[in-house]
Amino acid sequence: MTMKGALIGCGFFAENQLHAWRDIEGVDIVALCDRDPVRLKFCTEKFGVTRTYSDAAEMFASGGFDFVDIATTAPSHRPLVEMAAQAGVHIICQKPFAETMQDARAMVVAAKNAGKTLMVHENFRWQLPIQAALKAVRSGAIGTPFFCRVSFRSGYDVFSGQPYLAKGKRFIIEDLGIHILDIARAFVGDVSQISATTRRINPNIKGEDVATMMLSHDGGATSIVDCSYATQRKPETFPQSLLEIDGTEGTLRLDAGYKLTVQGKTDSEIDVSPPLLPWAEKPWHNIQESVQTIQQHFVTCIATGTEPETSGTDNLKTLALVEAAYLSAETGTAINLSDI
């Protein structure tokens, strides 16, 4: 049986999502919605979707689909998620999930009351290299992790494709750090306290482009999450997240060039380079491949009635880390997550 979907927001990243939906067996995107007629026309022609709307409420009223993919920016998420819940469809929503914790909690409640799946498109956790490292750690290959460092440092021009990123008061923690914080949670669990510092190196943007965060995890582990879009390095490592994890019985490293090294109960060094999908292009292929993986997970969870790993409920904890990091950087103090 084919699962029918609709997509709202035909911007920069949505093209990857539409490619991925097309490649997932048993899924058919039947409707597109965007207020920009140029973007809507482009995606309509490229992906052959004939039902198009400029108004989301009209699209939901027309119905005829089982889930919606919300690929818009954060300010629109709450009204769209609540509309989707009222329409009785499953929801996958882009990150950042919400502008405020209040909005995020309201969206989770709306989906729960409707009895529908709500998943956040938190795709970094789903990148093949990260999944390979998670599999190794969760297998006990290095014992119990007590230290984790997740690093994303680059000078790649992300503003040319997404110019709005240069205009917001918040940038790197909200746009990129949210992914890296989520990776840290995936490896060493939930967080009790966070300290953060930020800098703005690029004078042509409004927000911060460098952030360093130290996390104290509930199980006693410590992690360092560092992000930069002001780092000049050759070769450029965008969009790779690098890992260093110490456990009670060994260590794991994910180095530039997608090299995964495990030294523990058994030693191994393997290439975890992501595949170059037919519609993907380097260096974005790592992220593009993860889009297909996360969307397949969403479909599987709907079919089996299970909660997605990056559900709306789970993402509340990652979103709280973002808010706490900004508060810590502003006040110069460590923030307890229980206060968020």
Please tell me whether residues 112 and 131 are part of one structural domain: no
pLDDT tens digits for range 143-166: 999 999 999 999 999 998 889 999
Please tell me whether residues 48 and 130 are part of one structural domain: no
What is the arithmetic mean of pLDDT over 304-318?
97
What is the arithmetic mean of pLDDT over 196-221?
97
Torsion angle, alpha carbons of 185, 125, 164, 207, to 10: 30
Q: What is the CATH number of the domain that holds 38?
A: 3.40.50.720
Q: Is 157 left (phi over 0), alpha (psi -120 to 50) or beta?
A: beta
Helix (H, G, I), strand (E, B) or coil at 86: helix
Give dist(CA 259, CA 280) in Å, integer.
21
Please tell me whether residues 176 and 27 are part of one structural domain: no
Residue pair 89/68 in contact (Cβ under 8 Å)? The answer is: yes
Q: Is residue 152 part of a domain?
A: yes
Please tell me whether residues 40 and 144 are part of one structural domain: no
Tally of domains within the chain: 2
Please tell me whether residues 147 and 87 are part of one structural domain: no
pLDDT, the chain, mean:
97
Q: Is residue 241 part of a domain?
A: yes
Please tell me whether residues 60 and 175 are part of one structural domain: no
What single DSSP character describes residue 232? Answer: -
What is the arithmetic mean of pLDDT over 283-295?
97
Please tell me whether residues 205 and 277 are part of one structural domain: yes
Please tell me whether residues 44 and 160 are part of one structural domain: no
Please tell me whether residues 144 and 271 are part of one structural domain: yes
Q: Is residue 289 part of a domain?
A: no
Q: Which of 60-64, 157-161, 251-255 has the lowest mean pLDDT?
A: 157-161
CB count, 10 Å around CB of 338? 8
Q: What is the CATH number of the domain that holds 129?
A: 3.30.360.10
- Looking at the predicted structure, is the pLDDT value of residue 1 above 90? no
Using the structure block, give the residue that is written with the tokens 């914790």. 101
Give dist(CA 49, CA 38) in Å, integer.
15
Helix (H, G, I), strand (E, B) or coil at 301: helix
pLDDT tens digits for range 112-143: 999 999 999 999 999 999 999 999 999 999 99
Q: Is residue 290 part of a domain?
A: no
- Per the DSSP assignment, residues forming a β-bridge with 53 are 33
What's the domain range around 254? 125-282+312-339
What is the arithmetic mean of pLDDT over 67-82?
97
Residue pair 148/184 in contact (Cβ under 8 Å)? The answer is: yes
Give dist(CA 145, CA 148) in Å, integer.
7
- Looking at the predicted structure, is the pLDDT value of residue 28 above 90? yes
